[in-house]
Amino acid sequence: MWFFHFLTALLFTLHVGALPFEDNRLVNRDGPGHGGGGGVVGAVNDALDAGGSLTSAVITDSGLDSALNALPPAKQHTRRFGISYSPYGDDSACRTQEQVNHDMDKLKHYSFVRIYGVDCDQTKKVVNAARQRGLRVFAGVYDLQNFPASLDPIIQAAAGDWSTFHTISIGNELVNRGEASPAQIVNAVNTARTRLRAAGYHGPVVTVDTFNRLLDHPELCHVSDYCAANCHPFFDATQPAANAGVYVRDQARKISAAAGGKRTVITEAGWPKRGDANGKAVPSFGNHQRAIMALTHVYRDNPGDLVLFSAFNEKWKKDSPGTFHAEKWWGIESR
């Protein structure tokens, strides 16, 4: 309870007011950034590094909004959760090595960075920057269009030193998008594992898909070295932001049960700051904070099983009614 009492005392001292309640409206405002390792994630990291724990009261108490406002800035050395990252500018241009270095400076308090493909020479750029900052890289092949040749940029980026690599994924939501069958994915993962082992990589090889597709097709888990699931409670209209952590944890448990007890890593989970409401799931800066706090609380004892989505707002993405015009606004840090 020490962390909750600390927050209560700090609130009394600073007279920090609660965030306004957000109802089911379009909320088109962005809050202050979390750059430099601050914000909710950093504060949770600091509490964990100090040997403490976060109580459920921090998540469920009516003073949550004020507690969020009172969280102290993070230290740069904290290393806990994973974070997803895309190396594109607002205009979709590839970010340069210097720009990627700048981005990794903002992300070095995370444990590892997840990237999705090999375009823009991103594997080499991110690996170069990560090695200098003590980060690990969850690399990937986005689709099967140029597979298995698309493994070559990953092998070349390693240059014989695989110590920086956390995981290598083959495909992101390909079954969910109807771009590949489960059987095709199984074959691709096996092919990739054989080729990567021959190149000296002995870490995890997985395929990433949505949690419901993994439940439908447990063979995607069986072929992977662990189950790798994207899970966004925002797209379930029954889920408020404060329940994000419990929702994601429950889906992960279902996936593991369907796969015979295999470990499940959530490879994407977050909440948008802008967009249209989806029932009880309302995008706003305050709800973004609530969801991230709920996620990091639930995964406080196994932070390596959670990849937060996403590092920065992704303004290069296209708005879509199907995703509630929220695609651009999931960023946790600020550039």
Q: Which residues are catalytic?
A: 268
| 55 exposure class (CB count in 10 Å sphere: 0-12, 13-18, 19+) | middle
* Dist CA 202 CA 264 (whole Å): 19
In sequence order, what DSSP letters do the residues of 263-274 get, joined into one string? Answer: -EEEEEEE--SE
Distance CA 43, CA 195 (A): 41
Supply angle C-alpha 222, 231, 205, rounded to 5: 35
Largest CA distance in the chain: 60
The span from the CA of 302 to the CA of 300, in Å, is 6
The per-residue DSSP string of 116-134 comes to --SGGGHHHHHHHHHHHHT
Cα 286 to Cα 16, 31, 55, distances in angstroms: 15, 8, 20
Element (H, E) at 302: none
Q: How far apart are alpha carbons 154 and 141 in whole angstroms?
A: 9
- Reading the block at residue 162, the tokens are 């695989």
